[in-house]
Amino acid sequence: MSLDATWVVEWMRHSARVLAENRAELGTLDREIGDGDHGENMDRGFIAVLSELDAIPDDATPGEVLRRAAMTLISTIGGAAGPLYGTALLKASDAVGSETQLDGASIVALLRAARDGIVLRGKAEVGEKTMVDSWTPAVDAASSAEGAGESPAGILRAAAEAGSAGAEATEPLIARKGRASYLGERAIGHRDPGAQSTALILHAAADAARNA
């Protein structure tokens, strides 16, 4: 089994839906340790992506769809999230190149490149209470699943589950990056909103693959 551009399109559509459904929750998480606009910004960005999907040609590659979505997010999401998520999808696009069919190894490469793009752009590491704390266990789980011979859908499901666990694990951490870092120990007990939106997006990818 492999995944093509149709999966990427459905991934973006699923992401838009779950981010809209969780807009208020993400806003609440962000108000606790940030400026409160993460849910609104993510919703706005992926609504813009939805409109771009209608203009994508039928013969587009997965990489082309990822790049179109990346540029849209960069131009429409405010704050740090736009550049971070946009860079993630740009690097993911570069990782899959002109491939038309993505096998398990390609999915792992896509996820790893996305994570590495966020690390490069945000200069964050695991344990600093950022979206990296969701992306990194997701990449590790994806790699392990691919090594065990899982299908692309199975790899994405493993990544999503690990990403959710990683987001939950940000709650006891002290923030070291971004606005939340100003709170010091007062950030303990609050989940990072970027890690939570990452988990939602990873689950959207897995759901889209299951229906592919």
CATH of the domain at 56: 1.25.40.340
Give buried/exposed letters for 43-57 (b at 16+ CB in 10 A, else e). Answer: bbbbebbbebbeebe
**Strand, coil or helix: 200:** helix
Positive or negative torsion for Cα 208, 152, 107, 148: positive
- How far is it, in rounded angstroms, from Cα 137 to Cα 88? 16
- Determine the average pLDDT of the residues in 103-116: 98
Per the structure, the complete domain to which residue 116 belongs is given by 5-210
What is this structure's pTM? Answer: 0.94
Cα 124 from Cα 119, distance rounded (Å) = 5
Q: Confidence class of residue 147 from pLDDT cuts 50, 70 and 90?
A: very high
pLDDT, tens only, 46-98: 999 999 998 899 899 999 999 999 999 999 887 788 899 999 999 999 999 99
The confidence band for 181, taking pLDDT boundaries of 50, 70 and 90, is low
The answer on pLDDT for 7 being more than 80 is yes
Tokens representing 36?
Answer: 């409160």
Q: How many domains does the chain have?
A: 1
Residue 156 and residue 206: Cα distance in Å, rounded? Answer: 5
pLDDT of amino acid 35: 78
What are residue 102's DSSP bridge partners?
Answer: 3
pLDDT tens per residue across span 150-180: 999 999 999 999 999 999 999 998 877 666 6
Q: How far apart are CA 157 and CA 52, in angstroms?
A: 26
- Residue whose entry in the numeric block shows the structure tokens 């969780």: 22
Tens of pLDDT, residue by residue over 119-130, are: 999 888 999 999
